[in-house]
Chains A and B, each alone.
Chain A
């Protein structure tokens, strides 16, 4: 009896009203969680190479047009 009492007091009481929780889950189901990766040395290097290339080419606008980015 003592053990059972300890177990009962250790667990949180059950949620009586499940509707608010269900509604919250339905609301969350419509959300998309975007997790952006942390920027590291690879991304910094890529940025530097891209900007460096643009700085080197004689006509950056023509170059960007050739890339299909402009």
Chain B
């Protein structure tokens, strides 16, 4: 039986939990918007995949600990998601010109959410690795 590490599992659950909470937008608010603006929901991105995507992205973050802030890591996901949605719209024949701005819009939005929500949750729940004493020493000696 597979035994995932506690930290990895927690990282996945934090990412997917936050994204799942954000789905209140497409699941709840969209209903109201469609009543007001019937033609607005002509495009249907697979937003229901967001929890899986965010969970996996946070899992990779916890495992690799890349040399960048978690906000930038989230922004990269935003750019990738924006490009992917563009490709999906092109494949479906539903692409519209403003969709080009999706990566530009999603990057800062994801940056803010990952910085202000995912980062503190990761830190509070022990997903982040503890700081490396060697790197702390080098930082202190540099000062």
* Cβ proximity bits B73-117 to A, threshold 8 Å, 1 near / 0 not: 000000001100100010000001011011011111101100110
Across the interface, do B120 and A35 meet the contact criterion of CB distance under 8 Å? yes
Contact of B45 among A32, A56, A66 (CB under 8 A): A66
B34 CB to closest chain A CB (Å) equals: 9
Contact-residue bracket for chain A? 20 to 34
Given known contacts A37-B116, A56-B101, A69 and B109 CB-to-CB distance under 8 angstroms: yes
Across the interface, do B105 and A53 meet the contact criterion of CB distance under 8 Å? yes
B102 contacts which chain A residues (CB < 8 A)?
A: 63, 66-67
CA distance in complex: A49, B106 (Å): 10
Residue A65 CB within 8 A of the other chain: yes
CA distance in complex: A45, B112 (Å): 10
Q: Which residue of A lies closest to B109 (CB)?
A: A50
Across the interface, do B124 and A69 meet the contact criterion of CB distance under 8 Å? no
* Cβ proximity bits A43-58 to B, threshold 8 Å, 1 near / 0 not: 1011101100110111
A9-52: which have CB < 8 Å to B?
A: 32-37, 42-43, 45-47, 49-50
Residue B18 CB within 8 A of the other chain: no
Contact of B124 among A32, A50, A67 (CB under 8 A): A32
Given known contacts A43-B115, A62-B42, A49 and B108 CB-to-CB distance under 8 angstroms: yes
B47 contacts which chain A residues (CB < 8 A)?
A: 68
Residue B30 CB within 8 A of the other chain: yes
Contact of B108 among A47, A59, A61, A65 (CB under 8 A): A47
B60 contacts which chain A residues (CB < 8 A)?
A: none
Contact of B111 among A46, A59, A67 (CB under 8 A): A46
10 closest Cβ contacts across the A-B interface?
A68-B47, A46-B108, A53-B105, A57-B98, A49-B108, A50-B108, A32-B124, A61-B40, A68-B45, A46-B111
Q: Which residues of A contact B (CB under 8 A)?
A: 32-37, 42-43, 45-47, 49-50, 53-54, 56-59, 61-70
